[in-house]
Structure 1
Amino acid sequence: MQKVEFDGRRFSYIRRGQGEPLLLIQGMSGHNGMWGEEFLSLLEPHFDVVAYNHRGIGESSWADGQFTMSDLADDAAGVIRGVGWSSAHVFGISMGGMVTQELLLRHGALVRTATIGCSWAGGPDVSLGETVRRAIAAMSTRDADHALKTAYEMNLSPRFVMPYEDYVSISLSQRVPVPVVLMQWEAAQRHDTSARLPSLNAKVQVIHGTGDAGMPVRNGEHIASLIPGARLELLQDASHLFWFDEPFRTADLLKQFAALADK
């Protein structure tokens, strides 16, 4: 695990592959191991991939107080600069997709293309699935087994099922403190870019699984409708963890979009 420091904070990351720079931004309670070996191996031949951990996650510095999506977007911008890039393609999922929206709005010059996965823009027109609230409630009990089982049910679809033991092994492979996840949840609840996204002039694609129970597909459709020229890709029956369900398709979409943007 490599580390980059700026503004008094340390962020841990993994770096693999070669080619165009690609920053991966994980979601709520996620760490960089949750991209999965198969998906990362598909990206490596085409991208110089950096997958970092949010503040308070893994070996990154502790989150020393409540933060906003704007704060996390500033973190992402600092990672891009800190690893030596002038700009990068960005792929953010779930909460990481919210961070990506703020990154576009606050630091657009750093973003070559943005892919927003299984996320939402906030506002009155869309909402989070009830399963998200059940997962947060389960985590708040501090009962690890209950929290993992609830998250497993929320994140995976009946059609594409990762064995529970594999999900647990990946989830617990790095430090994910409950207080930090609850701060992420507070930030996600306050997230609202719906009035600002129409002002973007950026190359954006939105990917969403139609079987996503935690973040219903209408949220992805809403984001794509707000951003001028955004490209919408729906993955039939795929879950919230769609890059596990459809790793080849997801990697291909990233490669194709990056190539189109360079023309």
Structure 2
Amino acid sequence: MGAVTVSGLKINYRVVGSGEPLILLHGGFGFDSRSWSPQFDALGDEFNLVAWDAPGSGGSDDPPESFSMDDYADTLAGFVKAIGLPRPHVLGLSFGGALALALYGRHSSLPRSLILAGAYAGWAGSLPADEVQRRVQMISEDITQPPEDWLPKYLPGMLTESAPREMAEQTLALMSGIHPRASLTMLRAMANADLRGILPDIDIPTLVLHGDLDARSPLAVGKELHRRIPASQLVVLPGVGHLSNMEAADAFNAEVRTFLRALD
């Protein structure tokens, strides 16, 4: 575990393996660098995996309440510079996928490639306005309560019913580390982000990786990302929900490895 300071914020991160650098960007809802354990275990033999705790997640400092998606992207760029990574590949899941797109939009020379898993072009850029409003209202109300009272109802949106019970329990344990105030900041950033204008200009290799049973970011969202990003690849993981890196770790890791190997 390491830590650096970027724009006055302490950012925690984990590093595993050696080889081509691959930045891992977790989702919201209390997730942090620990959610990439299935990738640490499998991909460290070939890649230098660096997973951060985004501002307001895990062991990192909470950002100002005014933080936007652009601010998260600029902090990420500062983080990459602070740890001295040469032009990394960038893999983002859910919120992390939107963040990867925002990073490209503001710092296009930084990522070597993009892997967008269960991603959005921001909620405003991928979901109907009424659905965005529904999510914001529901989460804003729930987050004021003890995590154990409301987090379990979001689990079906993360994993399918066929996910092992132990995996569901581990996922809830991860989510229970949520920073309530900072998660509202992340929620607003995600809800307001519309990154569709970036998509046609992406000229680096891009893999869109999506579970066909994803209830949080429906497959139609992934297909639209693929349609708008020139020369992107779309891989659909059958029978898999939103947290594809956990629920189908072997298939997920194999697709990531195949994609990155092909770039060499």
Output the TM-score relative to the length of structure 2.
0.90
Q: Deviations over 1:70-98 (max 9, x none)?
A: 11111211121111112101100101100
Correspondence 1:157 to 2:184: no
1:77 is aligned to 77
1:157-236 matches, within 5 Å, as: 157-163=160-166, 164-172=168-176, 175-236=177-238
1:93 is aligned to 93
1:34 is aligned to 35
Structure 2 letter corresponding to 1:148: L
Provide closer, same or farther for how the CA distance between residues 198 and 155 of structure 1 changes in structure 2, counting only shifts above 3 A. same
Tell me, what secondary structure is at the counterpart of 2:209?
strand
Provide closer, same or farther for how the CA distance between residues 62 and 84 of structure 1 changes in structure 2, counting only shifts above 3 A. same
1:146 is aligned to 149
Residue 162 of structure 1 deviates from its aligned partner by 4.0
CA distance in 2, matches of 1:217, 1:130: 20
Residue 132 of structure 1 deviates from its aligned partner by 5.0
Q: Deviations over 1:89-111 (max 9, x none)?
A: 11001011000001112112111
8 Å contact kept, 1:212–1:240: yes
8 Å contact kept, 1:138–1:147: no
CA distance in 1, matches of 2:254, 2:125: 33
2:255 is aligned to 253
Tell me, what secondary structure is at the counterpart of 2:116?
strand
Instruction: State the percentage of identical aligned residues.
Output: 25
8 Å contact kept, 1:208–1:217: yes
8 Å contact kept, 2:56–2:62: yes
Tell me, what secondary structure is at the counterpart of 1:23?
strand
Tell me, what secondary structure is at the counterpart of 1:110?
coil
Residue 6 of structure 1 deviates from its aligned partner by 2.5
CA distance in 1, matches of 2:137, 2:48: 37
CA distance in 1, matches of 2:134, 2:170: 21
CA distance in 2, matches of 1:132, 1:246: 26
8 Å contact kept, 1:34–1:171: no
1:13 is aligned to 13
Tell me, what secondary structure is at the counterpart of 2:112?
strand
8 Å contact kept, 2:94–2:117: yes
Residue 147 of structure 1 deviates from its aligned partner by 2.1
Residue 40 of structure 1 deviates from its aligned partner by 1.6
Residue 7 of structure 1 deviates from its aligned partner by 2.1
Q: Deviations over 1:124-180 (max 9, x none)?
A: 6644689955862563241322322112122111122443432233333xx421111
Output the TM-score relative to the length of structure 1.
0.91
8 Å contact kept, 1:135–1:154: no
Moved >6 Å (runs of 4+): none
Structure 2 letter corresponding to 1:166: Q
